Amino acid sequence: MSNSPTTHHILIVEDEEIIRSSLRKLLERNGYSVSDAVSIKAARETFDFSIFSLVISDLRLPGQPGTDLIQLAEPVPVLIMTSYASLRSAVETMRQGAVDYISKPFDHDEMLAAVERIVSSDRSLLSALQTQPHNLALAGTSSAITKVQHLISKVASTDAAVMIIGETGSGKSSVAMAIHHASQRCEQPFVTVNCASLNESELAVLAERCSAVGTLFLQNIGELPLPLQPLLLRALESCQCRLISSADSQLEKLLAAQLFRKDLYYRLTVVTIPMPCLDQRREDIPLLADLILRNCSSNAGLDSDAIEALSHHSWPGNLLQLRNTLQQAAILAEPDTPLSAAQIGIESVAASKASIGPHFSLRPSNESFDDAPAGLSLEDYFTRFVLENQENMSETDLAKKLGISRKSLWERRKKLGIGRKKGHDTSDRASATEKN
C-alpha cells in the first residue's frame, strides 16, 4: 500500500466493538490513520469532521442513522456499511449522498478496494482541479469551494444529470468541464449549448447529434423560452449522453411562476451543485489572483496592499470580474513591478479606513462615473453603457450589445436600481417574470 500513515485519516462510526476494532486494525495495517466512535453523538462531540478524508459508518446506530453523517460531515465522503443488505436500502443510501455502500459481513479486500478507490479518486481529482487551467474557478482551499470539489468527485463517476446553480461569472462552466474530464466519458466530445440563444432548428439538429456526444452541457437553461422547453425535453428522450445544466438562482422562481417546466427540471436535476460566489470564498482570492496573473504571462505579481484590497473588495461579477480587472492591470503594468491596489483600480483597505472612519464599509460607493477609477468593474461598465444608450436603443439591442439575454438585462437593471424609460418594449419573458 502506498499510503503513509498520515496521508489519509479515516473515521469509523460503529457501535459493535468487534467490527469497529477489526476494521480499525485492517485500515491501520494498510497505512491509514484511524479514529473511531460508537455513535454520531460521540463523533460530533469528539472530532472535527473536516480533518478526515473519509467517514465509514454503520447504517443503524444508537440515536441516529449513519446516513445523518452525510450532511453532518459534508463535504467529507461517507461510506455506509450495513448487515441489512437490500437493493432498496442501497439505492436509498446512495440517493441521500453516500459515496458507496458495503454489506456486512464485508470481505477485507472489498473494503480496502472501496476505501482506496474513494480516497484515490478524491486525491487525483483535487490535484487536477488545482492544476488544469480551465479549472481555475475550482482552485482554492476554502470550505465553500472544497464542498464543490468533493461533490464533483462523488458525481463524476456516475451518469447522473447535474444542475449547477450560481451567479454569473462564478465558474459554472468550469464545474461542468471538471465533471466531464473526471468521468469515463472524458475521451468523448464535450458539447456546450447556450440555451439563451437556442432556436427550434438548432434543437432539431441537437436531437440528431446527441448520440455522438459524451457530455451535453446546457448552459443558462433558465433562459430557454417556454415554448422551446417541450421540444428540448423531446430531444432528450433518446439521448444517451451525460446531461449537465447550469442556471442562476432565479430558476426556482421560474418554476414557481410556471415559466419553466417541472418535467424538464426533473429530467435535468438529479444532483444539484451550488457554485459559491467570490464573496463566499474570499480566502481563495490571493491564490486565484496569482493564477490569473500567471495564466496571462505576467511577471508583475502583487504587493501586500493589493492582495489585501483584492480580498476585501466586492466582486459582483465574481471570478470573471476579478480576471478582467487583473488582466487589464497586468497589460498596463511596468515590467517586473508588483501591482498596487491603485494600479489595479481598487481602493486599498488602509485608504478606505482613512476616508470613511472607524465604522467603515467595504461595499461599493455610489460615486459618479467621472470620479470612478480608470479600470471599470463589470458592474460599472454595465451601468454606464445602459445609461448612455437606453435613450436610442431598444432593450433587445442593449442586451445584444452587452452579450446577455433580455432576462439578464432586466435582472441586472433591478439589482443596480437602473429603471427603464417608459415606452420601451417590455414584452420579453423577463417582464413576465417581473409581473409574477
Q: Is residue 4 included in any domain, yes or no?
A: no
Instruction: Tell which residue, 238, 244, 253, has the closest CA to residue 275.
Output: 244
The domain boundary, picked from 252, 276, 300, lies at 276
Q: What is the b/e burial string over 5-43, where b = at least 16 CB atoms within 10 angstroms of the residue's CB?
A: eeebbbbbbbbeeebbeebbebbeeeebbbbbbbbbebb
Residues 312 and 348 in one domain: yes
Q: Is residue 3 included in any domain, yes or no?
A: no
Read off the C-alpha cell for 95: 440517493
Three-state secondary structure of 125-183: HHHHHHHCHHHHHHCCCCHHHHHHHHHHHHHCCCCCCEEEECCCCCCHHHHHHHHHHCC
Residues 415 and 401 in one domain: yes
Residue 104's domain is classified under what CATH number? 3.40.50.2300
Residue 214: half-sphere exposure toward Cβ, Cα within 13 Å:
16
* Predicted confidence (pLDDT) at residue 151 exceeds the cutoff of 80: yes
Q: What is the b/e burial string over 393-424, where b = at least 16 CB atoms within 10 angstroms of the residue's CB?
A: bebeebbeebebbbbbbbbbbeeeeeebeeee
DSSP assigned state of 364: P
Residues 232 and 304 in one domain: no
* Predicted confidence (pLDDT) at residue 181 exceeds the cutoff of 70: yes
* Predicted confidence (pLDDT) at residue 284 exceeds the cutoff of 70: yes
Residues 131 and 138: their CA atoms lie apart, in Å, by 10
Residue 235: half-sphere exposure toward Cβ, Cα within 13 Å:
21
- Which pLDDT value is given to residue 292? 86
Q: Is residue 36 included in any domain, yes or no?
A: yes
Q: Is residue 341 included in any domain, yes or no?
A: yes
Read off the C-alpha cell for 347: 481602493
Q: How many CB atoms lie within 10 A of CB 98?
A: 23
Q: What pLDDT band is residue 363 in, cutting at 50, 70 and 90?
A: very low
Residues 212 and 119 in one domain: no
* Predicted confidence (pLDDT) at residue 12 exceeds the cutoff of 90: yes
Residues 392 and 430 in one domain: yes
Residues 287 and 236 in one domain: no
Residues 20-36, mean pLDDT to the nearest whole number: 91
Angle at which helices 318-332 and 285-295 pack, to 10 degrees? 50
Mean pLDDT of the chain: 79
Could you report the per-residue pLDDT of 46-83, keeping only the tens digit for each? Answer: 998 888 889 999 988 999 999 899 888 877 888 888 77
The domain boundary, picked from 61, 91, 124, lies at 124
Residues 43 and 114 in one domain: yes
Residues 112 and 168 in one domain: no
DSSP assigned state of 302: B
Read off the C-alpha cell for 246: 447550469
- Which pLDDT value is given to residue 95? 61
Cα-Cα-Cα-Cα dihedral sign, residues 273, 13, 79, 174:
positive
Q: How far apart are the first and last CA of the chain?
A: 60
Alpha-helical regions (H) of 16-132: 17-29, 40-46, 69-72, 87-95, 108-131
Residues 322 and 404 in one domain: no
Percentage of the chain lying above the pLDDT 70 cut: 79
Residue 342's domain is classified under what CATH number? 1.10.8.60
- Which pLDDT value is given to residue 127? 52
Q: How many CB atoms lie within 10 A of CB 51?
A: 11
Could you report the per-residue pLDDT of 188-235, keeping only the tens digit for each? Answer: 888 889 998 888 888 887 877 777 788 999 999 999 999 999 999 988
Residues 153 and 58 in one domain: no
The domain boundary, picked from 124, 157, 184, lies at 124
Q: Is residue 186 included in any domain, yes or no?
A: yes
Residue whose C-alpha cell is 411562476? 257
Q: Supply the range of the domain harboring residue 401.
A: 380-435
Residue whose C-alpha cell is 447529434? 209
Instruction: Tell which residue, 57, 64, 107, 99, has the closest CA to residue 82.
Output: 57
Q: Is residue 156 included in any domain, yes or no?
A: yes
DSSP assigned state of 222: G
Q: What pLDDT band is residue 349 in, cutting at 50, 70 and 90?
A: low
Residue whose C-alpha cell is 508583475? 300
Q: Is residue 138 included in any domain, yes or no?
A: no
Residue 162's domain is classified under what CATH number? 3.40.50.300
Residues 268 and 298 in one domain: no
Read off the C-alpha cell for 114: 472501496
Residues 291 and 264 in one domain: no
Could you report the per-residue pLDDT of 364-420, keeping only the tens digit for each? Answer: 333 333 333 334 455 666 777 788 788 888 888 887 777 677 777 887 777 777 877
Q: How many domains does the structure of the chain reveal?
A: 4
Residues 314-329, mean pLDDT to the nearest whole number: 90
Q: Is residue 129 included in any domain, yes or no?
A: no
